[in-house]
Each structure stands twice: as C-alpha cells, then as structure tokens.
Amino acid sequence: MDVYVNLQKYGRRVLLSICDADMLGRTLKQGKIVFHIHEEFYKGSLVSLEEAADLIPKSSIINMVGHKIVKMAVERGFVHPDAVLEIEGVPHAQIVKL
C-alpha cells in the first residue's frame, strides 16, 4: 500500500485526490506558496499505485502530490512532465477533463 486515494462525486463529476502515504498531513512551503496536504481532502483508502492508476481514467478532476504517484502518472502518460509543479522539492500535478 503506497498512496491514499479519496473519491468524491459531484453530480456526474468525480474528484480524485491522491497523495503518497508519507505526505499526508504535511505542509509544504516555497516562497509565497503554502500547500497543505489535509487529511480531509486526501485521506481515504490506502491503496497500491496500481489501484490508484486504475482510478485516474475514471475521474474528472485529479489532484496528486508526492514522488511516487506523480512519477507513475508521468510514466503512464497521464501527466506531461512540464505540467508538474514542485513545491519544496515535492511534485504536485492536476488533471482536469472537460
């Protein structure tokens, strides 16, 4: 088990929040950016990277933070490497499907 996933449904939209397990509860700071990895938003089920990867194509909006999950998303072509933002050295990426 490597990552936390939290699925939330809003009508026909599905919001998927994923974070590496060791990132939960941390606050990242870089310049004016303060990024809270809140349990309320990210903590759901603890699953493997494979299980998390299976949820990405089924979701409308995906927020992910952490080395493991973002690396996997880039390797599988879900996220372009140039779209990854690093905050305090930790990768963060978002996907929005319209």
pTM here is 0.93
pLDDT for res 81: 97
Pairing relationship of beta strands 45-47 and 3-10 according to DSSP bridges: antiparallel
Domain ranges of the chain: 3-96
pLDDT averaged per 10 residues, the chain (length 98): 92 96 96 96 96 96 97 97 97 94
Question: What are the distances in angstroms from CA 89 to CA 12, 30, 48, 72?
Answer: 34, 9, 23, 17
* Cα(93)–Cα(8) distance, integer angstroms: 18
* Cα(87)–Cα(65) distance, integer angstroms: 10
Specify the fold of 3-96.
Answer: 3.30.1860
pLDDT for res 1: 65
